[in-house]
Amino acid sequence: MNSVELVQQAEQALLEIFSGIDAQVKQNLQRVLNAFRNHRVGTHHFASVSGYGHSDLGREVLDRVFAEVVGAESAAVRVQFVSGTHAIASCLYGVLRPGDELLSVVGAPYDTLEEVIGTREEGQGSLAEFGITYRQLDLTPEGLIDWVALETAIRPETRMVTIQRSCGYAWRPSLSIADIEKICAIVKRQNPNTVCFVDNCYGEFIETQEPTMVGADLMAGSLIKNPGGTIVTAGGYVAGRSDLVEMACCRLTAPGVGSHGGATFDQNRLLFQGLFLGPQMVGEAKKGNHLVAYVMDRLGYPVNPAPMDPRRDVIQAIKLGSPEKIIAFCKAIQAWSPIGSYLDPIPAEMPGYESQLVMAGGTFIDGSTSEFSADGPLREPYVVFCQGGTHWTHVAIALEAAVDAIGKAN
């Protein structure tokens, strides 16, 4: 069976799953539309102010719309956040104080947070350098939360528990909303004052609820991923309890300024429109993930999640087993990207990452990975991580080329 026939077979096998994804997109879009209607969003909200950004009506209404969509007391949607990592760091630095402990309940954090926490590199003002300690609960051998250890994990000094929803560059299941709800409940039983913080990157609109609807006190993410609908040019968000959101904003700007400053540089229209498009774009990415998993599984490669399993983020991991296959796979994806199809991805150092990475990301917004993308660190066990996909048909075309490039598993 050639690559085209294999992908067509996958499409037929996944029709029922695709239909279920469409039904979920409708639910999430209805939630977005209700928030737009409740806050009477109009074209006058697209205008922005300059300078300090004081009294930006569009920004203020967008914050309230976003908060309603994710079921939070308040939110701050800002182009000043450089990335999801920046938004997360603002939450950590905003809430934690010297002597506090930060506890990760999902094992080691994503590579870009290691220098923020202070487990890698020195002299850059990490949390460790400010006297904030870090501890982690390792995952079970199966890559799952250690629920038994979590029951007694909270200490008097544990000010914050951090919950990374997505698998990142780890071979583990990403967390479901039910998992996050259970973690928050266990933590709060031990200490109601411990802040439950969720790194929500790649998780928005995956299910019909967000972490702040099920017990999370605070969460953060990137606007050039799921909630930006592929058109937001930069930024991130924080959402949750009003006092915690303001504390994070005081790290983004300055104490006393907090959420009240920050010009939006005429981006309000794109921020509103991206949020409107977000559910549909995420739905298409989920379809693409199922397609990739089905085809690569048929070729004999270990995949995570499994082809028919529910999606918990927009990332599909494939264990290719060699650096050569990661590079060949990424070259094929890049060759069928809308932007930079003529480029050849090569391994390189990336700021914030420990290992060399190879990345295929021919996206309209640099670094967004919202159009179909693939990347992976060149380290054992040589896993490539596929992300995004504005329409599953693009994923199908690129996947056919990737199959031709790497063939069956050894």
Mean pLDDT of the chain: 95
In one-letter notation, the amino acid at residue 69 is: V
Closest of 183, 150, 147 to residue 164, by C-alpha = 183
| Nearest by Cα to 234 from 220, 222, 252, 219 | 222
Q: Which residues pair with 374 in a beta bridge?
A: 360, 386
The model's confidence at residue 122, banded by pLDDT at 50, 70 and 90, is confident
Task: Round to whole Å and give the CA distance between 81 and 248.
Answer: 11
pLDDT digits (tens, 9 = 90+) for 163-204: 999 988 888 999 999 999 999 999 999 999 999 999 999 999
- Tell me the torsion sign for CA atoms 68, 69, 73, 78: negative
Backbone dihedral angles phi then psi of residue 395, each to the nearest 5 degrees: -60, -45
Show the 3-state SS of the chain.
CCHHHHHHHHHHHCHHHHHHHHHHHHHHHHHHHHHHHHCCCCHHHHCCCCCCCCCCHHHHHHHHHHHHHHCCCEEEEECCCCCHHHHHHHHHHHHCCCCCEEEECCCCCCHHHHHHHCCCCCCCCCCHHHCCEEEECCCCCCCCCCHHHHCCCCCCCEEEEEEECCCCCCCCCCCCHHHHHHHHHHHHHHCCCCEEEEECCCCCCCCCCCHHHCCCCEEEEECCCHHHCCCCCCCEEEEECHHHHHHHHHHHCCCCCHHHCCCCCCCHHHHHHHHHHHHHHHHHHHHHHHHHHHHHHHCCCCEECCCCCCCCCCEEEEECCCHHHHHHHHHHHHHCCCCCCCCCCCCECCCCCCCCEEEECCCCCCCCCCCCEEEEECCCCCEEEEECCCCHHHHHHHHHHHHHHHCCCC
Provide the token pair at 220.
Answer: 């953060």
Token pair 């933590």 is found at: 187
Q: How confident is the model at residue 110 (pLDDT cuts 50, 70, 90)?
A: confident
In this predicted structure, which of 149-158, 162-171, 179-188, 209-218 has the lowest mean pLDDT? 162-171
Neighbours of 389 (CB within 10 A): 31
Q: Tell me the C-alpha to C-alpha distance, in Å, between residue 86 and each of 54, 94, 144, 225.
A: 22, 12, 27, 14
Q: Measured between alpha carbons, how far is residue 12 from residues 72, 141, 289, 292, 294 in Å? A: 39, 35, 15, 13, 11
In the chain, the domains with their CATH numbers are: 3-27+276-406 (3.90.1150.60), 43-272 (3.40.640.10)
pLDDT tops 70 at residue 205: yes
Measured in residues, the chain has a length of 410
pLDDT at residue 361, as a whole number = 86
Please determine, for residue 352, whether its predicted confidence score (pLDDT) is greater than 70.
Answer: no
Q: What is the pLDDT of residue 265?
A: 94
Distance, CA of 225 to CA of 200 (rounded, Å): 10
CA dihedral sign, ordered 211, 217, 222, 223: positive
Contact partners, residue 335, CB within 8 Å, separation at least 6:
341, 401
What pLDDT is recorded for position 112? 84
What tokens were used for 12? 């037929």
The pLDDT of residue 385 is above 70: yes
pLDDT band at residue 353 using 50, 70 and 90 as cut-offs = low
